[in-house]
């Protein structure tokens, strides 16, 4: 069987490029606490957010505010929560660690002429600013985030590549079920990066069920792509 063509590689951000998953879990909780929500509701939301990592802050806060049984309902709408979250996150997001081998792997793919993209649940404008400050933006053809969904953004990648769906020669590297479902929706090849995932049991079960490859972190990607 011929080796699949490597048309492009798309990366999720949190847990794949940056060690930021636990940071974001904490900041979601801080934003809700700042606005005066009850600790029990914050803890419940945090469990939901961890289980649905990779979903945008816009949709997560919308879901939280839709709960009819909140113990306290302060005067804070979705946009106020998004603003608080972004403000609390911003400086820490710029300073958090990169995942092991990240820059070396990106530079190796660039040297091979492989187009690179980011598709993340993070706010798109914020993500482009953070990547510019970290000296990463120039490595990617485009950096896409919310409020668009990951599936919508993968379709944008297809347009930017001039490719029709399914994206059989595009690899999407992610660490959450939202990443896998987005890859499925456009026919991209999914690779699960395990080490920093907040949903290891679920993702390992999905890998066993669907047969997608698993790497510990990005250092395992070049060998997988060359296999």
Q: What is the pLDDT of residues 10-67, one digit of tens each?
A: 999 999 999 999 999 999 999 999 999 999 999 999 999 998 988 999 999 999 999 9
The pLDDT value given to residue 1: 41
The pLDDT value given to residue 4: 58
Closest to 103 in 3D by CA, of 178, 198, 196, 11: 11
The 3-state secondary structure of 166-201, one letter per residue: CCCCEEEEECCHHHHHHHHHHCCEEEEECCCCCCHH
Which residues are CB-neighbours of 41 under 8 A, at least 6 positions away? 32, 64, 67, 70, 71, 72
pLDDT average, residue stretch 142-161: 96
Q: How far apart are CA 193 and CA 113, in angstroms?
A: 23
pLDDT of 153 > 70? The answer is yes
Would you kindly state where each structural domain of the chain is located, as residue ranges?
8-20+97-226, 21-95
Give residue 144's pLDDT band: very low, low, confident or very high (50, 70, 90): very high
The pLDDT value given to residue 3: 54
Domain 8-20+97-226: which topology?
Rossmann fold (3.40.50)
pLDDT of 171 > 60? The answer is yes
Q: Is the pTM of this model over 0.85?
A: yes
Supply the mean pLDDT for the chain.
95
Which residues are CB-neighbours of 193 under 8 A, at least 6 positions away? 12, 15, 16, 99, 173, 174, 175, 214, 215, 216, 217, 218
Q: How far apart are CA 59 and CA 62, in angstroms?
A: 5
């Amino acid at each position: 069987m011929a080796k699949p063509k490597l048309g492009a590689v798309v990366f999720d951000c949190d847990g794949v490029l940056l060690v930021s998953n636990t940071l974001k879990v904490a900041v979601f909780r801080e934003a809700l606490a700042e606005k005066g929500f009850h600790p029990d509701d914050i803890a419940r939301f945090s469990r939901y957010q961890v289980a649905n990592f990779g979903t945008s802050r816009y949709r997560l806060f919308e879901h939280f505010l839709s709960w009819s049984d909140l113990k306290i309902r302060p005067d804070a709408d979705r946009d106020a929560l998004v603003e608080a979250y972004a403000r609390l996150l911003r400086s820490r997001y710029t300073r958090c660690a990169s995942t092991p081998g990240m820059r070396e792997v990106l530079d190796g793919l660039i040297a091979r002429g492989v187009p690179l993209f980011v598709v993340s649940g993070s706010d798109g404008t914020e993500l482009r600013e953070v990547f510019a400050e970290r000296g990463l933006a120039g490595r990617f053809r485009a950096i896409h985030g919310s409020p668009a969904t990951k599936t919508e953004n993968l379709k944008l990648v297809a347009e930017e590549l001039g490719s029709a769906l399914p994206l059989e020669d595009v690899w999407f590297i992610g660490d959450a079920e939202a990443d896998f479902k987005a890859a499925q929706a456009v026919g991209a090849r999914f690779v699960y990066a395990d080490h920093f995932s907040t949903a290891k049991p679920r993702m390992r079960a999905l890998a066993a069920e669907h047969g997608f490859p698993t790497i510990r972190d990005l250092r395992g990607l070049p060998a997988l792509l060359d296999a």
